Amino acid sequence: MLQINSQELGKEVEVRVERWMIPNPKAVHLEEKVNVTAEILCSLQVDCLPIVGSSMNPVGIMTSKMLLQAFLIGATEESIFNYISKDDFYIVRASESILELYNLTYNYFLVTDEKHQLIGMLTRKEILQCLTSYIEELNQTSHTAEVLDVILDSAYEGVAVVNQEGIVIEFNEAYSRFTGVGQKDAIGRPVQEVIENTNLHNTAKNGMPERGVIQYIQGQPMVVHRIPIWKNEKLVGAIGMLIFEGVTELYRIYDRFLEKTMQSTAGENEKPKQESLLENVSIERIIGTSEQIAHLKRITRKVAKTDATVLITGESGTGKEMFAKSIHELSHFKQGPFISVNCGAIPEQLFESELFGYEEGAFTGAKKGGKPGKLELAEGGTIFLDEIGEMPQIMQTKLLRVLQEKEFERVGGIRKKQLKARVVVATNRDLLEMVSAGSFREDLYYRINVIEISIPPLRERPTDIPLLISYYLTNLCKKYQVPEKEITAEAMSVFMRYTWYGNIRELVNTLEKLVILTETRIIDIHHIPNYIKRSDFTGIPSLIQQEVIDKEKEVLKKVLEETGGNKTRSAEKLGIHRTTLYKKLRKHGLDK
């Protein structure tokens, strides 16, 4: 594991938890009532309170959202025990480094002493403040290059970094050993001259990430990742890595190999057919590397191994069915069928017969011999009830009975059938709000909400947008048999800032229009629909961004004065490459 000595690299910034934590935060005891806890939270004007046991040991957290949910179901006089979160927090010691915590997926960190008693609390706000100070300190000293060198040379994989012009600005020892090109010889040259068959310079120009692609270097097929670097929503370069990610990456490589092989051997009028090794691995087809998606994938893998009923929530178009299929394919029900039922698409009068089936003669027009329902068809597999918030109330009652007793009857039948399927449900509606309004049964809500998987909207994970665009753009070009298209960095930046109210479904529809209607190979800003461009207000820099710009200019002026205008010494003092210095000087008008 990479370790950086913070005392050596940032002497002015203390990165231990005790320096940044909220000391002795107001805590609420586990037996306290919901209404009292709400009053405390309001009086302190905070969003979260730590929950402690009798010996002041932290046992959970209570947020304003959790309290609101408790109020909605009328639990004001109840103990907070049933409403606290026992998952979204992490216990740390005051002596730990925040550099070891920032990449964890928790939102709250409770600090304890040797007796495991609560003495402090950290939120993402305090962690961000610490990291900001740490980075600012590094940027103002000559240690920046040292830190980057430690990181690059500690990596086992080959790592190369280029600026937006495709010039190599970092080249680690592992890459140097593999290519035979020295680090000093590589830096400052166009990446095409250093790494054969590379596409890293194009990634730095168009912002299109590429993961797990094959690149031949010195005659050897290598697995590479190409990742764009964004700073203040502007494309500034790209990172290339020689990396191997295990069996899943092998499967993808094998799929591509089969596809190319079959295409080359198939006749002109034949369409190549193949069975992808990843065909049944839906979770690997869920695209995204954000913390939110990584966290949801971990939960999905864990939940799939149980028989528990799962409630998947999220806005329309976020991919709820994809997670449902993942649960099915990772469970011991995977040998059985996956039966999907859209509860909002079935007329109320037909709902019961569709779900439970019917016997011969059950009603006028009933099919001879009867017909099995969806629950029966799902035997040995998974029944997915999508948009369960649209289910008629009379059917809610009947479904509750099925889930409780694990049996059902066909319409017009007298023989009970066992429910032998896993149940997964999904909704884009707020079921708790519906419970409060009386339009959804409270007992059914708690029956289906054994485990909840909440999928965040696309606007809350913008770092996943380039990956999604890269994947769907390639597939849509294949679908419509048009030359593969690229998106400019400026267009990608607009896409990353758009709110995507229709989530992934809207993104795919937009890309589909662009693939069909754009006649050129390059998709630029002027091709993007006006309603997307109108929502982009980023031309006006924020006050914070302007402060950063002004601070950078001030530092550059000071260093130039100290070195008498010597660019080489200035670059060395700032810990950056000369190419980077010249670019910064031009940016601030200091190159005259």
Domains and CATH numbers, the chain: 6-137 (3.10.580.10), 144-247 (3.30.450.20), 284-456 (3.40.50.300), 459-534 (1.10.8.60), 543-587 (1.10.10.60)
Cα dihedral sign, 436-442-446-451: negative
pTM over 0.75: no
More confident residue, 292 or 100: 292
Alpha helical stretches, state H, 140-278 = 144-154, 173-179, 183-186, 191-194, 200-206, 247-265
Q: What is the DSSP letter of 330?
A: T
| Contact between 420 and 407 (Cβ < 8 Å) | no
With a cut of 80, say whether residue 264 has pLDDT above it: no
Residue in the structure block whose two tokens are 């059902």: 408
The predicted-structure confidence for 500-517, as pLDDT tens digits, reads as follows 989 999 999 999 999 999
Strand order in the sheet with 220-231: 168-171, 159-163, 234-242, 220-231, 210-217
**What H or E segment, with its residue span, contains residue 120?**
strand 118-123
The H-or-E segment that residue 407 falls in is strand 407-409
Q: What are the C-alpha distances in Å from 588 to residues 224, 490, 542, 563, 582?
A: 35, 21, 17, 18, 10
pLDDT at 409 > cutoff 80: yes
Tokens 């890459």 locate to 175
- pLDDT of 11 above 50: no
Question: Which range, of 42-46, 76-80, 150-154, 404-408, averages the lowest pLDDT?
Answer: 150-154
Q: Name the residue with higher pLDDT: 379 or 3.
A: 379
Pick from 107-121, 219-233, 239-253, 309-323: least confident:
239-253
**H-helix segments, 318-464:** 320-329, 351-356, 374-377, 393-405, 431-437, 442-448
Backbone CA torsion sign across 96, 102, 104, 107: positive
